[in-house]
């Protein structure tokens, strides 16, 4: 009995999930850039912290979506080969983590600046802020609809989507602030809305950072129960043991696995490989699984490794 290796995957050049959404990202980028300029100009002219904070979040959209696009382009142009055996697909995950860090910084600054204004809130003219907030709201709704469908497919697109979602909520907040200012002349509405926007963004940013770090640290996908998978592999016909099982995510839509299977006497390697490959692909949606089938003696040598 010898060793057998097998891996199943789709045909053709692999494409990350976010790579299929480039057009939508470009559209969201253009919308965010245009509205950001308008909001910054009106915010500075009217001393509206709520509008400036919304414009700052819009800036994170521009930078964040730009990072997402740059990562996709880099990943697409650098296919696996040479020393880059997995290409540059991880660039998309790094872009998502960079977006999370950027959002943390902006949200923290807005909260701090809003708190300092509570003691002496400036007078903010409501009408210009209202018009700018309406423009931002329309733009964010369009961008939100463009990116919503891809947010579950790609962590890279999800980073951009969360920024747009934060801006959408921010635009609603600025709109409310402008209406309150127009109706009642209440100066505290503007800094209060600024704090609310910042606090709303932070937990969602934390979730994005956590998901990015799970991929970078090569944790198993959250949807896969590793113990259950091990049990199912061990229960396959011809398998007497499972070791060196590894599961990780390369980037969104690209999950990878490897495992060593100890083969029982009287079974064919090809049959064991095919049943294991089918388990990974059909039940867990992992189509790139590198599997090694070993005789008991070879399995013993694996256990003697120090790591």
Choose from 143-147, 162-166, 189-193, 262-266 the range with maximum mean pLDDT: 262-266
> d(Cα 59, Cα 66) in Å, to the nearest integer?
10
pLDDT of 144 strictly over 60? yes
pLDDT of 250 strictly over 80? yes
Distances in Å between the Cα of 299 and the Cα atoms of 145, 230, 232, 258, 294 are 52, 16, 19, 15, 6
pLDDT of 1 strictly over 50? no
Question: What is the pLDDT confidence band of residue 239, given thresholds at 50, 70 and 90?
Answer: very high
> d(Cα 38, Cα 143) in Å, to the nearest integer?
16
Q: At what angle do helices 189-216 and 155-184 cross, to 10 degrees?
A: 170
Token pair belonging to 262: 């100890």
Mean pLDDT of 188-198: 75
Sequence ranges of the domains in the chain: 18-216, 220-303
Mean pLDDT of 62-74: 73
Mean pLDDT of 170-188: 76
User: Interior CA angle at 166 toward 252 and 32, to 5°?
Assistant: 85
Mean pLDDT of 63-67: 73
pLDDT digits (tens, 9 = 90+) for 214-230: 989 999 998 899 999 99
pLDDT at 14: 45
pLDDT at 13: 39
DSSP collapsed to 3 states, 197-228: HHHHHHHHHHHHHHHHHHHHCCCCCCCCCHHH
State pTM to two decimals. 0.67
Lowest mean pLDDT among 70-79, 171-180, 181-190: 70-79
Question: What is the pLDDT confidence band of residue 109, given thresholds at 50, 70 and 90?
Answer: confident
Report the CATH number of the 220-303 domain.
Answer: 3.30.70.1350
pLDDT of 87 strictly over 60? yes
Lowest mean pLDDT among 69-73, 76-80, 241-245, 295-299: 76-80
Q: Cα Rg for the chain, rounded, in angstroms?
A: 25
Question: What is the pLDDT confidence band of residue 289, given thresholds at 50, 70 and 90?
Answer: very high
pLDDT at 236: 94
pLDDT at 151: 63
> d(Cα 148, Cα 144) in Å, to the nearest integer?
6
Average pLDDT over the chain reads 77
pLDDT of 16 strictly over 80? no
Mean pLDDT of 261-288: 91
pLDDT of 300 strictly over 90? no
CB-based contact 201:107 (threshold 8 Å) = yes
Question: Helix (H, G, I), strand (E, B), or coil: what is residue 267?
Answer: coil
CB-based contact 242:262 (threshold 8 Å) = yes
288-294 vs 254-263, strand pairing mode: parallel
pLDDT at 153: 64
Mean pLDDT of 243-256: 87
pLDDT at 80: 54
Lowest mean pLDDT among 51-55, 206-210, 242-246: 51-55
Between these two residues, 162 and 20, which has the higher pLDDT value?
Answer: 162
Mean pLDDT of 271-290: 92
pLDDT of 295 strictly over 60? yes
Q: Which fold, 18-216?
A: Alpha-lytic protease prodomain-like (1.20.1510)
DSSP 109-151: HHHHHHHHHSSSPPP--HHHHHHHHHHHHHHHHHHHHHHHTTT
């Amino acid at each position: 009995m010898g060793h057998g290796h097998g891996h199943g995957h789709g045909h053709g050049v692999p494409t990350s999930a976010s790579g299929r959404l480039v057009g939508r990202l470009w559209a969201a980028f253009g919308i965010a850039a245009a509205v950001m300029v308008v909001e910054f100009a009106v915010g500075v002219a009217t001393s509206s912290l709520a509008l400036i904070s919304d414009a700052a979040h819009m800036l994170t959209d521009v930078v964040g979506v730009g990072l997402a696009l740059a990562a996709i382009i880099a990943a697409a142009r650098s296919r696996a080969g040479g020393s880059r055996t997995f290409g540059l697909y991880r660039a998309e995950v790094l872009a998502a983590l960079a977006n999370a860090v950027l959002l943390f910084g902006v949200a923290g600054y807005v909260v701090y600046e809003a708190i300092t204004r509570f003691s002496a809130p400036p007078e903010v003219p409501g009408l210009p802020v209202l018009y700018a907030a309406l423009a931002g709201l329309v733009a964010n709704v369009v961008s939100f609809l463009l990116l919503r469908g891809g947010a579950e497919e790609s962590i890279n697109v999800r980073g951009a989507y969360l920024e747009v979602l934060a801006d959408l909520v921010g635009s609603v907040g600025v709109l409310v602030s402008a209406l309150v200012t127009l109706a009642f002349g209440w100066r505290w509405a503007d800094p209060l809305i600024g704090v609310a926007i910042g606090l709303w963004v932070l937990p969602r940013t934390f979730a994005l950072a956590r998901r990015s770090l799970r991929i970078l640290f090569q944790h198993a996908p959250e949807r896969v129960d590793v113990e259950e998978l091990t049990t199912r592999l061990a229960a396959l016909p011809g398998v007497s043991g499972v070791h060196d099982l590894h599961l990780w995510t390369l980037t969104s839509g690209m999950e990878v696995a490897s495992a060593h299977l100890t083969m029982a006497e009287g079974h064919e390697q090809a049959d064991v490989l095919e049943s294991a490959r089918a388990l990974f692909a059909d039940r867990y949606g992992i189509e790139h699984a590198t599997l090694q089938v070993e005789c008991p003696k070879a399995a013993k040598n694996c256990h003697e490794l120090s790591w």
